[in-house]
Structure 1
Amino acid sequence: MFDPTKETPPEADERAVARFRADRGTYIKAHLLLALVGGAVATAVLAAIGNPHPWVGIVAAVLGVGVRGAYLMSEELSAVWTLTDRALVGPDGRRVLLENVEKVRKLGSAAQVITRTGDKHLIKFLADPDAVRAQIDGARGA
């Protein structure tokens, strides 16, 4: 069912084929990975420059990424992309006609849609980005 507070409506004569929503588990895993990798790098840099407390790097990264992730979670998880028989309709009024899609590729837990004019749209935090890519490619006849 269409939710006008979170989705851009498809046009009246379009038929919705699929809806792509961000996955909470994928969102949390992505932020944990970012915190751990960022923390390891920060700790290594602090140790390399001779800081007497390099452990602060991991603590700061985990806290920073955790606070940011918690703050933005509701916004990121409310994003919905609708694949119709003619277009890909995204949040904030974004609309990409399927005939204008040059390619769709997987980037981590996201599907990146690239148009013929070079515009890029990211459908983020997907549980199965390969399936989303395949559905969009199938709808556009690629």
Structure 2
Amino acid sequence: MTATADHPLLEPGEKILAEIRPDRGRYWRDHGVMAVGLMALAGLVLWATGTPYPAIGSLGAILAVGVRALYLSSETLGLRWVLTDRRVILPGQRSVPLLELETVRTLLGDVQLITRSGDKHLLKHVADGAGLVAKILQARERRAKRRAD
């Protein structure tokens, strides 16, 4: 596939292996878990400090996370990452060569990429984090093998 308006960063001969987008269900589940965790933390802190109405703080935490989730949903759910046979193309015209990846792992509902130089990138709210990690590692191994041949 050659460079197109939809994939402006593809090099000649580069092949797309997968397009990765955030999963809407995963996005809302992640924010639900965050809301419940912050609700409990806020209630506990307010109860420990002797506040007479710790439930109000808990409700505030849930509302804050909900408003944040609504505000950021269109931006976050519009992200796209592209896995090619050479690299991972990130939003914003950046990319990470597969052979530069030191660590690829799941991190809660996300996939974290860490390069040899220590740069960290997050593929947020992916539906199958473990499956994506396996795809990226497999592509990296194939790239390394081709380089060695």
The two structures have a TM-score, normalised by structure 2, of 0.88
Provide the alpha-carbon RMSD of the alignment.
1.6
- Secondary structure at the counterpart of residue 125 of structure 2: coil
Aligned-partner residue type, residue 62 of structure 2: V
Query: After the TM superposition, which residues 79-94 of structure 1 pair with which residues of structure 2 at under 5 Å, given as runs?
Result: 79-94=79-94
Q: Specify the alignment match of 2:54 in structure 1.
A: 54
Task: Name stretches of at least 5 consecutive residues in structure 1 with no aligned partner.
Answer: none
- Secondary structure at the counterpart of residue 61 of structure 1: helix
Q: Specify the alignment match of 1:95 in structure 2.
A: 95
> When the two structures are aligned, how many residues end up with a matched partner?
139
Q: Alpha carbons of 1:77 and 1:17: their partners in 2 closer, same or farther (altered >3 Å)?
A: same
Q: Is the 8 A contact 1:110 1:122 kept in 2?
A: yes
Tell me the CA shift for residue 10 of structure 1. Answer: 2.4
Distance 2:64 2:91 in 1: 26
CA displacement 1:17-56 (0-9 Å, x = unmatched): 1111100000000001101110111011101111011001
Query: Percent of aligned pairs with the same residue?
Result: 42
Distance 2:85 2:97 in 1: 9
- Secondary structure at the counterpart of residue 54 of structure 2: coil
Which structure has more relative contact order (CA 8 Å, sep 6+)? It is 1
Q: Is the 8 A contact 1:35 1:61 kept in 2?
A: yes
Q: Specify the alignment match of 2:147 in structure 1.
A: none
Distance 1:14 1:74 in 2: 30
Distance 1:10 1:108 in 2: 30
Q: Specify the alignment match of 1:40 in structure 2.
A: 40
User: Runs (4+) of structure 1 moved beyond 3 Å?
Assistant: none
Q: Alpha carbons of 1:39 and 1:3: their partners in 2 closer, same or farther (altered >3 Å)?
A: farther
Aligned-partner residue type, residue 70 of structure 1: L
Aligned-partner residue type, residue 50 of structure 2: G
Q: Specify the alignment match of 2:116 in structure 1.
A: 116
